[in-house]
Structure 1
Amino acid sequence: NLHASLLPQYRGAAPINWAIINGETTTGVSTFFINEKIDEGNLIISKEVPIEEEDNAGSLHDKLLEIGEITVLETLEQIETNTYKETKQAHSDTLKYAPKLFKEDGKINWNQSANQIHNLIRGLSPYPVAYTVFVAKNKRKETMKIYKSQAVVEKHHATVGLVETDNKSYVRIPCSDGYIYVDEIQLVGKKRMPIKDFLLGNKNMHLVQCL
């Protein structure tokens, strides 16, 4: 079997997402023999892949798919020629897991750090997508999906979650230790778009509160 992590780390259904969400700089692929436990069989081959700062779940998936195809072929060749070596997976209390993602996992907590929020956005883009709920000027709650962002760490006295914008080129949202600059978003029922395009038709985001 092939798994999109360096086993035994990130056993589970969503290893690509969780590696980015947790701020890892390296991941990889592993081939292993299946046993009665999920993702715990003896390892055959593991290959490392760096996680770049600009990577999101989509781009990392494509990288791992490419190296995974090569790794599977190497594994099959070793099994066919009986040259493979099995390695028992380590068991430790410090292992990180990759459970299935649910909608609530994608809700942004603006009390977290800029890097934590940015990594959540990267780790859930392009699917299932991080989101925030805000109270519009008409008092209705709306959901905004965020596909792309930048994290800026700096001291401020702004209210956490209170949107700041010049209504032309940027939207930034204060968090615990800085700002998230929102680069690409989608409102419910609308198209995904860059923030500058969004602001052309939406001039009422300043001082909107994200929950």
Structure 2
Amino acid sequence: MQLINHESMKDLRIIYMGTPDFAVPSLEILIENGFNVVAAITAPDKPKGRGQKVAISPVKDCAVKHNIPVLQPTNLKSPEFINELRSYNASLQIVVAFRMLPEAVWNMPEIGTFNLHASLLPQYRGAAPINWAIINGEKETGVTTFFLKHEIDTGKIIFQEREPIREDDTVGDLYARLMQKGAKLVLKTVQAIQRGDYPQMDQNEDQELKSAPKIFRETCQINWNQPTDKIYNFIRGLSPYPAAWTEINGKNLKLYLVKKLAMNNELKALSPGDYASDGKKYLHFHTQDGGIDVKELQIEGKRKMDIEEFLRGNKV
């Protein structure tokens, strides 16, 4: 148990750090439960889309709606930002889907800084835990709150909640469930900290650890010389973003929704990576031991569409 001045627990001054939509429910649940969020830290505004209109982050949008001051530093180590952050006199900082923090930032509050991570730590430390859990065919994952320290995703665990991974889950499906489950865990963690009664458990590293490194477009190309199950998990684990891709008629083709096919006579006549189609209703790719039936896809230069719409406009 962490021993902190009990008076500081009753009047928690919280600074919240996050950027994408994943971080919004956690901020909202704190506000709804009356916690004193004194400032929000998020990414700078940036041009987005074809029109290059300046877009604000989902966390900034939420904070502004609730009249919470917003800081958008480009350099987390700059003396100006450090001084401004210190002026809020926060007793606790919470990080959900934000970038790495320098020690001068995470070590500033009296109680510390805790992070919400979308895995059951110590498994899947890194930038893309939801993707890699599905890509690796896991049946279960979860969310973890833990205190930050020097090494990434290695601090003392406060709480964890488990979440099953369904056979047909995409990253989008699992992301949505973990976003809500994570918000409830953030609230549980802050309530425990406010009471001054919360665990701090060392991460168990006496096991084989799987990592979750950042995913790049170049590594999202499908290798059809693999078993069907492995390719199926790979496609699910990258859908809807950044999306697994292959080539067809010299163009990139992103696959979003697929089903597995057992080996049949049509597929036996093909080599891995070859495809068959009736030109109307189906597109099947041959794998090492079966096939992939494409249901939703996007060809280069076009929008996402279902297979029948795609085949009406494209000859394969």
Common topology (TM > 0.5): yes
Q: Are 2:283 and 1:174 aligned?
A: no
**1:192 corresponds to which letter in structure 2?**
K
Q: Which has the higher contact order (CA 8 A, sep 6+)?
A: 1
- Determine which of 101, 104, 127 is the counterpart of 2:218: 104
Per-residue Cα deviation, 1:175-205 (whole angstroms, up to 9, x for no partner): 00100011111111111100111111223x1
Structure 1 residues 92, 99: closer, same or farther in 2, change over 3 A? farther
Aligned to 2:121: 7
Say if 2:271 is the partner of 1:159. Answer: yes
Alignment deviations for residues 93-121 of structure 1 (CA, whole Å, 9 cap, x no partner): 61100000011221000001111111111
Q: 1:24/1:42 Cα in 2 relative to 1: closer, same or farther (>3 Å)?
A: same
Q: Number of matched residues?
A: 199
Q: Equivalences for 1:26-37 in 2 at 5 Å?
A: 26-37=140-151
User: Any runs of at least 4 consecutive aligned residues in structure 1 with deviations exceeding 6 A, and if so which?
Assistant: none
The answer to which structure has the higher helix fraction is: 2
- Secondary structure of 2:273's partner? coil
Q: Which runs of 5+ in 2 are unaligned?
A: 1-114
Question: Which residue of structure 1 aligns with residue 187 of structure 2?
Answer: 73
Q: Deviations over 1:29-53 (max 9, x none)?
A: 0000111110000101000001112
User: How big is the alpha-carbon RMSD for the aligned residues of Structure 1 and Structure 2?
Assistant: 1.2
Match of 1:20 in 2: 134
Identity, % of aligned positions: 47
Q: What's 1:43 paired with?
A: 157
Of 236, 239, 257 in structure 2, the residue corresponding to residue 125 of structure 1 is 239
Q: Report whether the alignment pairs 1:83 with 2:83.
A: no
Q: Write the letter of the residue equivalent to 1:145.
A: K
1:59 and 2:173 aligned: yes
Whole-Å separation in 2 of the counterparts to 1:63 and 1:34: 24
Tell me the TM-score normalised to structure 1 length: 0.91
SS at match of 1:176: coil
Which of 287, 302, 308 is matched with 1:190 structurally?
302
TM-score (norm 2): 0.61
Corresponding residue for 2:9? Answer: none
Structure with max Cα Rg = 2
Report the residue type matching 1:27 in the other structure. Answer: T
In structure 1, the gaps of 5 or more residues are 206-211
Return the alpha-carbon distance in structure 2 between the equivalents of residues 116 and 34 of structure 1: 34
* Alpha-carbon distance in 2 for matches of 1:92, 1:18: 21
